[in-house]
Amino acid sequence: MKLFTKILVCSVLMMGPSVTLYAQSKQQPVKLILRSTPWTFTGGSPLSTLSSKTKSAIFKSPSDSSSFTIKLLVNLKAGIANRTLIDIPNVLKVNTFQHDAKDRKRQNYPAYLLPDGSDPVLEAALRLHSPTEPKGPQDMAVGIPLAMLKKLNGAHELVLHFSGVRWTLYVDNELLDNDFPIGYPKWGKQSSWSIDPSLVSKAEIFFTEMEPQRVALEKPRTLSEIQYWTPQGHNAWVGDVTTLFYKGRYHLFYLFDRRGHASKFGKGGHYFEHLSTTDFKTWVEHDAATPIEEQWETLGTGTPFIFDNKLCLSYGLHTTRIYPKEQTLLPLQWDYYNKHGVTGSFRYDTIPGYPAGSTYSISEDGISNFKKSKILFHPCENPSVYSDPDGRLRMLANYGAKGTWESKSIDGGWKSVNPNFPPGGDCTFFFRWKNFDYVIGGFTGFWTKPASATEEKFIDGVKAGLDFYNGMNVPAVTEISKGRFLLAGWIPIAVWGGTLAIHEMVQASDGRIGTKWMTEIMPSTQQERLLSKEIKETATFPLGSSSFLLTFDVAPCTDLNGKLGALFLGANGEDHAAEVQISPNYKRAQYGNGQLQHFSITEKSLREGGSPNGVRNYAIENLSATDKPFTVRMIVKYDHKFGGSLIDTEIAGQRTMISFRPDLKVEKLLLRAENSGIKNVKIAALKN
């Protein structure tokens, strides 16, 4: 019989009159230096101006494709009803209304609520006429929950800016929402507009060039977190992540997502933002590596790589989401490949047709300052480019192609060297660790082989139940200093976007890979408290915080069927409750729906048909180091923006698993042990 072990539930903040106070946590918070600044619009003469005395007017519009800026001085208040602040018939409406405080679809407005629970919203809907939309004109809305304003009641300046590429809402000099247009408004020969003078004291419309300018700050804005981080904004999320360690700096690129893939009329509107760090304690937010600069642009996943001693970032142009394949440059690229047996090199800004396929950007200083090459080098739309351990430039083709490709130059000349592996469709990444090679997919695929073996010797690790999927979507693997490997990805919250997550990887002598928490980026906590020295059956604890770190150990046990459970309960008891369950001797752990009287039902692992990438209920199997005493740690993080709780579990320092539980705000913890004992239960509230 194998020994039972100790498990660690990440420490939580709980208090009670009898708990023992422990020393203050020594974990120092990380610092993220933000690029965020206020914005200003200066210069230009308004084409038309409205005021409380002149509440409507007619003006002659320039061409439909002109950029424009509208400035509004508005008076807002908490109890505002359904009102139209500004109306340009068949072009633009700016409205306020009461939003359903339970409806997080698309804009995630309930991220900010007023104290009474109401959700007043301001929204600007621009009607666009797209050449690719058979349904006719569509309204592109940008908006905010008014509760996010520091001071709601009173005067505010609103700026609406349409550049042709971006449709952006600024309030009091802060960029609060944007989207990426397809098409243009139709102004007509003359346009009328009007305001509600009880809410708008002044409105100006400009058609001259008036681009927003950043306001230089003497002291940059900062945040004290990176783990579970999301970009600022009620509807801004982290999408696909890709990473590289270069010259002592860890680069993390992520697809910036608003609206859970619903931006750009559902085409995604993604592009790569960029963070980096040299010590994992201080992080810097750089300029976007691949900003959207054309209406046809929407980007797919790629990889950073080094070529010709330059830091590069490959990515895909998913133009076929907007235009038919026949109108893109994909047929040209495939024709070239079919004739020559290698891919061509096409400078897409010199060729008629919409660019699509693989391209890349180059850093001009080896740190940031990326510039688009505007070269199409392959027709696949999710290129995974890398230099293999033998120095060969290679690529795993995903979405639109498959297999392994090789070239002597990034600019074309790519030939297929293994057409059937990997099978494509997913976002695959290669890495070598000591004597083993690995390929991991974005959601399900995982293959491994000895480094000395030929490529046809890759074994399907998912079928063997030896994968290390832990809830991260499209995970990227990177070796950093001292032979350490990191796994970074995103945790789904808003359909196709969520929080950033980074874990450290561990490797056994047989090549088996697991994951653990990374010490440097652990969230900082308040004082740790001892909840209980020992729990033999069941114990319940009220909590003083909904975000916490919980840890505990489990006494050895010889019962094969023994298991442990941590049940997280909200205000409504079993409704939305979540259970973390561990069966040490069966080497399994899972997230399940919590029940007060019983353990949750058995969930499936990825091998068995479960879905770790769904980050709800799933199991992991073949745990390591649970045949002897071990520790379990759990971090529970609630955020109004999430609309629920993230639960990150580390088991024996060898495996991690993450779940997101919508609508759960933890108030109570129930620990249960069946034929085992839980010891040393400790909890500490998170500082952020």
Angstrom distance (rounded) from CA 619 to CA 602: 8
Output the pLDDT for position 294.
97
Q: Where are the domains of the chain?
A: 39-214, 222-517, 529-685
Output the pLDDT for position 562.
87
Across 495-528, b (16+ Cβ under 10 Å) vs e yields: ebbbbbbbbbbbbeeebbbbbbbbebbbbbbbeb
Do 516 and 630 meet the contact criterion of CB atoms below 8 Å apart? no
Output the pLDDT for position 561.
77
Predicted confidence (pLDDT) per residue in 516-526, tens digit:
999 999 999 99
Tokens of 53: 């005395």
Angstrom distance (rounded) from CA 441 to CA 565: 31
Structural class in CATH, domain 39-214: mainly beta
Query: Does residue 376 sit in helix, strand or coil?
Result: strand
264 φ, ψ (degrees, to nearest 5)? 55, 45
Across 316-354, b (16+ Cβ under 10 Å) vs e yields: bbbbbbbbeeebbbbebbbebbeeeebbbbbebeeeebb
Output the pLDDT for position 206.
95
Task: Find, among 13, 102, 1, the residue nearest to 547 by Cα.
Answer: 13
Q: Are strands 120-128 and 459-460 parallel, antiparallel or unpaired?
A: unpaired
Residue 369's alpha-carbon distances to 17, 94, 113, 288, 289, in angstroms, are: 55, 36, 38, 8, 7
CB atoms within 10 A of CB 429: 24
**Do 39-214 and 222-517 fold alike per CATH?**
no
Output the pLDDT for position 555.
74
Output the pLDDT for position 13.
29
Identify the H or E element spanning 524.
Answer: none
Predicted confidence (pLDDT) per residue in 375-390, tens digit:
999 999 999 999 999 9
What's domain 222-517's superfamily in CATH? Glycosyl hydrolase domain; family 43 (2.115.10.20)
**Residues in the chain, pLDDT under 70:** 1-27, 424-425, 556, 558, 560
> Which CATH code of 2.40.40.20, 3.40.50.300, 2.30.30.90, 2.60.120.560 fits the domain covering 529-685?
2.60.120.560
